[in-house]
Structure 1
Amino acid sequence: MYTVVVLALPDVIAFDLATPIETFGRVRLPDGRPGYRLVVAGHEPSVQAGPLRLAVGEGLDAIERADLVVVPGRNDPLQPSPPAVLSALRVGAQRGTRIASICVGAFTLAEAGLLDGRDATTHWLAADELARRHPAVRLNPDVLYTDNGSILTSAGASSGLDLCLHIVQRDYGVAVAADAARLAVAPLHRPGGQAQYIVRNRATHRTSTLQRAFSWIEANAYRDLTLADIAAAAGMSVRTLTRRFKDETGQSPMQWVSGVRIRHAQDLLESTDHTVDRIAAQTGFPTTSNFRSQFGQLLGVTPGAYRRVFRPQPSGSREGPPGPPGVAVARDLRSRRR
């Protein structure tokens, strides 16, 4: 049996804290024995978790007995972590203890120096800030989780469940992990990555010198556009337009157009029953195959797979079990960002 220590840090996100407790706590081996022993630990006897006040079972010395330490995210991940927690994580890592983060819990691992030179991910909304604060981390915001052997990270909300199921499969094999996934009413492996949840190419900086171009592209992305068209609408030369797009967005103007078209296609996949062919034509892609190719390259899933995740099924639908509980949270987050 593996011992899993879940850290309850000040201001912990209750969802992130509960995910490993529920997932690992319900794992049963073929003979009926539990697969994991769960411990909730911290450096304070109780912590605030949003509107909840939670008692903490053990102190940080529990990490010494852990096979796996899980670090949930905190509501404000930019607040410094308690030094005692960082020290305990470093000691655990030096001893070879597996350490995993959920969502913005990656900030705590990065603060402890455990992600330097390693692949990592976090919630896409926080990815830029993590990269800015910790440039030595090899950040990949598009994946659902990363596994460096002893150090693991996951993206937002439901990705913590993906990571926990991945760990169960590592520890006990596919059959036990599949049973755990069925208990969670979740797929053992979700198609694609975090890329399908990212709200792309929506200009939010009203002071941008490209605001005129952004607005025009938003209204005209369905058309067969050229660089000259965009430059004329923006009132600048093609050369200036290209330079400013690179400086302000890190993309070329046509890459930006493609991102806007993909976002418009996401909206139609979520809100209509239009065919993929029709959506490709409505959003400005020259062919359906071009649309499918660009959609897959940018989001990591097919248009059909994306629709199955994000388009609610009619009441009483029999098209399969609901997705991971965090999918609804991710969808709400995307809506609030629009």
Structure 2
Amino acid sequence: MNTKSILRMNQGHGENSYANNSSLQMKVMSKALPIVKDIINDMFVNNLSLEMSESFNIADLGCASGPNTLLLVTEVIDTIYNLSNKNLQILVVLNDLYKNDFNSIFTTLPSFNEKLKEKYGFEFSQNCFITGVPSSFYERLFPCKSLHFVHSSNSLHWLSQVPKNLDNKGHICIDKACAPNVFDAYKDQFYNDFYTFLNHRSCEIVPNGRMILTFMGRSFPDLLNDDSCYLYELLAQSLNDMASQGLVKQDDVDSFNIPLYAPYKDEVEAIIVDEKSFHLEKIEISQFNWDPLDDDDNNNKFDQIRSGINVANCIRSVTEPMLVTHFGELISLKDVFKIYANRVANHLKTKRTKVVNLTICLRKI
């Protein structure tokens, strides 16, 4: 499976799937936005070189194409407007893979620009520029020392590829029951990918430029004590159920693996130290319920069945392109995610498991 051709193709597969995934992305981004504002404020207050700059260049990596795509842009522009010389030019570059629906983003830009004019005036709005760069962020994207600020949300837990020569029968990702060599293969792939990501960005970001990255992580260093990948283990069990019913081939299930790794914070810190280009200023851990619409852990009327469906819709929006690519159009996704929703609901009867996210703030040395 060529992962670069399918990663982040979660444009929405059914209204509920898209809405639930968008809700989860909004929750994750809402935790990072205050940090983004604080960092940009610090950059303008304490970085004398910015006072002499004619432009402030921003990249949003793994931007996707949903309703939240321009949320970061809006918040950053608002923050800069309240801090800077109103003649400063702001360039925002949106990046994702080639198959991302950039056209849907660009068709919203005229109305977005009109809102800028209404809120900030014509002159300031004419200094705001938005463009797109379709490519993998595991490759070089921009000229040397051309960026002041880089942001990425919900992207870097996706690897550039499934680890090579992987024997992971019965599973589709790492989990507690996997062989140690499977865990090591995923960990090594993440190390190589994240190191490469940092190395490329180090060339593109100006000295003292900043980068804020949010992605899935783990609560514990030992996978046996962590539930970070159990969402996908339940999907593996659902696919195995389909195979036992003769609805898909067992060989196809055994050869299917998702290119996802949720690192422990110490692993991330070690790679940053090894790469040597960035100073780690902050790392924050946040947790969210599996169900993106479940905000109340004290709710005595918690509906496990409804939450099972919500989680299934969310995971379907992420994994459907990969499933179709691997199994073909004949796979009954309706059946897969019906089984999956039931498995999630049964799990939630005993434990309201969390998704863990890491938000890290880096300064270019």
Structure with higher RCO (Cα < 8 A, 6+ apart): 2
| TM-score in terms of structure 1 length | 0.30
Structure showing greater radius of gyration is 1
| TM-score in terms of structure 2 length | 0.28
Greater share of strand: 2
